[in-house]
Structures are given as structure tokens and as C-alpha cells.
Amino acid sequence: MKILSSLTPPLVIRYRFSMLFRDDLLSLAPYTAGKSRPGAIKLSSNENPLGSSPKALEAIKEALGGLNRYPDGSARALKEKIAARWKLAPNQVVLGNGSDEVLTLIAGCTVRSGLNAVTASNTFSEYTFAARLFGGNVRKAPLKEGRFDPDAILALCDNSTRLIFICNPNNPTGTYLNHAEVERLLRFAPAETLVILDEAYAEYATAEDFPRSRELLERYDRLVVLHTFSKIFGLAGLRVGYALAHPEVASWLERVRQPFNNGNLAQVGAHAALDDHEFFEESLAVNREGMASLVAFLEDKRLMYYPSQGNFVCFNCAEDATGLFERLLLDGVAVRPLNSFGLPEWIRVTIGTPHQLDKFFMAMERHY
């Protein structure tokens, strides 16, 4: 086979390799992560500002000597721990390398060319990525006052709809659908459709009518609930997410799951984090206090924001969000401009510690 030289014109290389790859993937862009810089206070990625669960860190240290061994391919101990937490059977838990992988497992089992998934226009981009990776079409309903609109979602569904993705609370707006609204979606979604309820931030939710997803799992076998260890447990770097589902649905996801997708350290760290009740409660307390402080600041500045059930707040800066982001970053504070979410005048700010939020407030006073 002739090897192309370094002088081969780029257009020739693109043409040659375009014959190998699916052209329907050309419009898929790589995920846009929150940006920061060394030394900056990072309030751009919704990470736990307190760090990681101390019990998880201790367990990880103790497990370092076993890195020459493959992990338990079924993650049995962690599955059993999660199942006990939710009062479910272990065969209703499917683990992934972060919730992102779980999304691709779900799409890989259900979506192909000619079929579609439905979600909202301003939400987590990995729903679109997962469906289109397997050739599916994605239909998007506009948010209504920053919230998922159940009627608009259902109106986009048809007999070719296999997945409905609901981010609850929604990233990036922090808004939520209540229990009755989610149940309505489950009742009226097409019979061939799975409803994916992504509760990555649900541990932070305080609304009395927030969905009781465990109860819904009992009643609707087409519901799949996603959770993660990346947020309140502070283990984003370990990449552990999981799905809760009917045993038959879970068995299909297990068919396409890569072996050893959760490493030794991820498994023992997540297992220990579930017992760290002190860290969990401290994280909730810091979030409550920080939320009140941030909301008071935004109201004082008369900036429009969405009431949030997560560990972040989304506000309208009434200008190009990228410009404000860059000015704040120069002052040592990283936030998230929401251009990639289709919200070019909006900023998302993670709830930090009191010190971190004070730095954000001071930077805003100087640059906004």
C-alpha cells in the first residue's frame, strides 16, 4: 500500500479518508468542556468544591497495590451497594465509565438509522451525541421558561421514537420537571420508547415535588434513571455513572457494555463514598448556603436567572457570554459561557465555597 507523504495536499487526504468513515458523523462536534487556566478558581464544570469524599480517598490509597490485577468485570460489590441504597435488585444496576458511557450503551441497544430520539434544545449535548453515534435522528423541543416542556416533547414523538432524554434538573438551566410531569411523560410516551431520566444533580434537589424516581421505577418498566458519582460525591475524575432499570432493560445494556469499564480504583472509591454520610451532608450544606448567596447577588444586580435545583445557577448577562467569561478568567475566575448549549448570552456558575464565590462576586463587580 502506498504511504501518503507529508506533502500530500490536505484535500486529498480528506477525500481519501472520507471513503472510510460515515459521512453522517461529519456534523458531530467533539464535546466542549468548561475552560479554565492554572491558578484560576474553577466554577465552570459543576464539580464538588469540597473535593472528594475522604472515605473514598482512603479506600483508593489502600487499593493502589492491586493495580496489576484486572478489576472485577461485573463490579459486583459496587452494584450490590448501589442496589441496596435504592432498594432494588443488583440486576437492575448497570455501571458505566461515567453516565456518558451509559448513554451510549442505551443508544447502542435501541437506535439505528430511521429511528429517532427526542430531547430539549438547550440541554446536555451527550444525548444528541449518543443517538447520532448510532445513526439515529434527534428531535429537539424548545425549553419553556428554561424548563423541559412535556407537551412539546410528546408532540415530537412518533412510532419511530426509541428514546426520550430528560435532564432533571436540567443542565445548564437548573430547572426541573416535577413528579406529575415526569409521570405524564411516561404514561403518554409511545409504547416502543424508553424514557431516560438523567438525575446527575438530583442529590442537590430540595423541591418537595421533585420526582420520586424510585417509585416511578416500580410502576413503569420503560423508565431508565441515571445517576453519577461525579457531582455530590466528588469523584468526577474516576468516571463512575450508573443506570437503574427494569431487569430486562438492564440485561440488554449489559450485552453491549465493555468488560472492565470501571477500574479497581473507581470501584472501591465509589463503594466507600456511599458510606461517607458526613461528606454528603457537608456538601449539601455548602451548596444551600452558596446558592442563597449567589441568588442574592444576582438579584441585587437585577440579572435574570433560573431558579436551580442543582449545584449551579444559570444567568443572563445581556451580552456575549464569551466576552464576560474571558474578562472574568483574566481575573482568575472560570465560569461557563453557554454558547455551546445554544444560549449565547447566558453564563453558568457552579456553587463554590464562600471564598470562591466572594472571588466571583468581586470579579463581577470589576468586569460587569
Tracing cell 506533502 back to the chain, one arrives at 7
The reported pLDDT for the residue numbered 3 is 46
Residues 284 and 248 in one domain: no
Q: Read off the CATH number of the domain in which 158 is found.
A: 3.40.640.10
For residue 183, what are the contacts with CB-CB under 8 A and spacing of at least 6?
A: 211, 216, 219, 220
Residues 121 and 195 in one domain: yes
Residues 256 and 284 in one domain: no
* Domain presence at residue 26: no
Q: How far apart are CA 21 and CA 35, in angstroms?
A: 30
Choose among 303, 327, 306, 317: nearest CA to 347: 317
* Domain presence at residue 354: yes
Q: How far apart are CA 336 and CA 231, in angstroms?
A: 16
* Residue ranges for the chain with pLDDT beneath 50: 1-8, 11-13
The pLDDT tens digits for 259-318 are 999 999 999 999 999 999 999 999 999 999 999 999 999 999 999 999 999 999 999 999
Amino acid at 79: K
Strand partners, 305: 315
Domain total in the chain = 2
* Domain presence at residue 292: yes
* pTM of the predicted model as reported, rounded to 2 decimal places: 0.91
Residues 363 and 256 in one domain: no
Whether 203 and 232 have beta carbons less than 8 Å apart is answered as yes
H/E element holding 227?
strand 223-228
Q: How far apart are CA 115 and CA 159, in angstroms?
A: 9
Handedness of CA 121, 126, 131, 137 (dihedral sign): positive
Give alpha helix (H) positions in 226-320.
Answer: 247-256, 264-273, 277-300
The pLDDT tens digits for 247-256 are 999 999 999 9
* Domain presence at residue 112: yes
Residues 127 and 201 in one domain: yes
Residues 210 and 320 in one domain: no
* Domain presence at residue 3: no
134 CB neighbour count, 10 Å cutoff: 17
Instruction: For 57-71, give the DSSP string.
Output: HHHHHHHGGGTTSPP
Q: Read off the CATH number of the domain in which 326 is found.
A: 3.90.1150.10
The reported pLDDT for the residue numbered 20 is 76
Residues 95 and 160 in one domain: yes
H/E element holding 18?
helix 10-18
The reported pLDDT for the residue numbered 2 is 45
Domain finish residue from 238, 273, 308? 273
* Domain presence at residue 20: no
Q: Which domain holds residue 352?
A: 41-51+277-367
* Domain presence at residue 63: no
Residues 295 and 333 in one domain: yes
Domain finish residue from 251, 273, 295? 273
